[in-house]
Every structure is written in structure tokens, then in C-alpha cells.
Amino acid sequence: MGEKVFDRSNALYVKTVPRKGRGVFANIAFKTGDVIDRAPTWGFDHAAAKLLDRTGVLEYYFVRHENNKTEPPTGYIVFGLSSLMNHSANPNAQRVWADRESGTWVSIVAIQDIAVDEEITHRYINVSAYPHSVKFID
């Protein structure tokens, strides 16, 4: 339970959080505005999301609401540690999306100072899509 698995930069580590599963923690201090993690993504449409929602992948993909609210949200698999970051109603980080020629990328940016060994959390915007058996703990 006390095992820590570090990323390549040793800035982050993953460990098990009681009642939450895996979580991402700071191994270095981050200041407000610092980029904590940046990762490429694989985007999929609403039809694919309906299929993925019936699997365990639901708990690991992100929903991105665009300015055009008439379109259904697009889902993204994120290939980085941010896919393991837990939800919080009072997060210390947020997602910042960037569309590039190489595809869509997501950065996790500190929205407050984060201390060494503090869990890094962000707000899930698709909480209502989760099964009722999933209980979110802050």
C-alpha cells in the first residue's frame, strides 16, 4: 500500500489511495500556473463513447465540452498520468486542451500551489455518466 511508482521525470508518483484507487501525487512542489503533466490523446465520437461507457474504460477517459453546445461532447483517452488523477469538488489542478497539427493534447495545470506528497486532483465534468455504484470521495 505504501509503494510509490514514479514518472520518468520523478516529478510525479502514483500510489494507491484508500477508497479511491490509484492517485497521482507531487514529488516536487508546483506553483499556481505550473504545467504538471502534458500528454497526447486519442479522441472518439459520441457513438464510440456509448460503447466505451459499457466497459471499465469509462473511468479513464475525459470529456471535453466545446464552445458549440449543440454538439455532443467528444471523449478522449489520455496517454499520461493525468488519466489516473482523482476527482475533487475542490481541485488543485485543471485540464487545458490544445489542438495541434499532431493531434489534441491535454495539460494538467496547477490552479493553486501544490506541496510535495500532496495528491493532485481535478474536477471531472462527466460525473453523471458514472454508474451510481461509483462514489466520489474528496
Domain ranges of the chain: 5-127
- The reported pLDDT for the residue numbered 131 is 44
Give the integer Cα–Cα distance in Å for 74 and 65.
Answer: 7
CATH of 5-127, one of 2.40.37.10, 3.30.300.130, 2.170.270.10, 3.40.640.10: 2.170.270.10
pLDDT at 137: 56
Q: What is the mean pLDDT of residues 77-86?
A: 88
Confidence bin at 48 (pLDDT 50/70/90): confident
> CB neighbours of 54 closer than 8 A, spacing ≥ 6?
none
Question: In this structure, are residues 121 and 12 in contact, taking their beta carbons and an 8 Å threshold?
Answer: no
Return d(Cα 14, Cα 81) in angstroms, integer: 8
Quick one: which of 2, 74, 12, 72 has its CA closest to 38? 12
**Residue 120 predicted with pLDDT over 50:** yes
pLDDT greater than 70 at residue 70: no
